[in-house]
């Protein structure tokens, strides 16, 4: 697997970001690799349902995945090479980082 898309789950309360599937082109079609294919295969396939009609070529499908999975809790990266992979091709979670703290709100928003 060289060029691929990572499908990533954000676990906001626990503060972990975890790749749960990788999509790549192999044997002339879009392939899904996952540490838990029974759990995540159907989720990814449902999100991509119907994509083959508009994008028959697997390379096109790979590029389309990003626009099909773009939620706060589950998203897909753009296609990228293994050497550029932020997850290094592994399934290990990435920890959330603290970026600032301690604000007291003075003026509530209107709605």
Where on the chain is the footprint of another protein (CB under 8 A)? 9-10, 12-13, 15, 17, 42-43, 46-47, 49, 66-75, 77-78, 80, 84, 86, 94, 96-105, 107-111
C-beta of 27 vs 73, nearer to another protein: 73
Candidates 84, 87, 69; CA nearest to 18 is: 87
Could you tell me the sign of the dihedral formed by the alpha carbons of 12, 38, 83, 48, in that order? Answer: negative
**Closest separation in Å from C-beta 57 to another protein:** 20
C-beta of 9 vs 55, nearer to another protein: 9
Residue 100 and residue 109 in contact, taking contact as beta carbons nearer than 8 Å: no
**Closest separation in Å from C-beta 9 to another protein:** 6
**Closest separation in Å from C-beta 79 to another protein:** 9
C-beta of 27 vs 72, nearer to another protein: 72
3-class DSSP assignment, residue 91: coil
Let me know how long the chain is: 111
Residue 48 and residue 27 in contact, taking contact as beta carbons nearer than 8 Å: no
3-class DSSP assignment, residue 19: strand
C-beta of 32 vs 74, nearer to another protein: 74
């Amino acid at each position: 697997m060289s060029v691929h898309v990572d499908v990533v789950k954000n676990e906001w309360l626990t503060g972990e970001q975890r790749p749960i599937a990788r999509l790549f082109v192999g044997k002339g079609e879009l392939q899904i690799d996952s540490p838990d294919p029974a759990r995540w295969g159907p989720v990814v396939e449902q999100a991509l349902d119907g994509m083959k009609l508009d994008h028959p070529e697997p390379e096109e499908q790979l590029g389309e995945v990003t626009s099909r999975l773009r939620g706060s809790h589950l998203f897909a990266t753009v296609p990228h090479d293994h050497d550029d992979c932020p997850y290094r091709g592994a399934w290990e979670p990435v920890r959330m980082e603290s970026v600032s703290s301690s604000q007291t709100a003075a003026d509530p928003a209107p709605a």
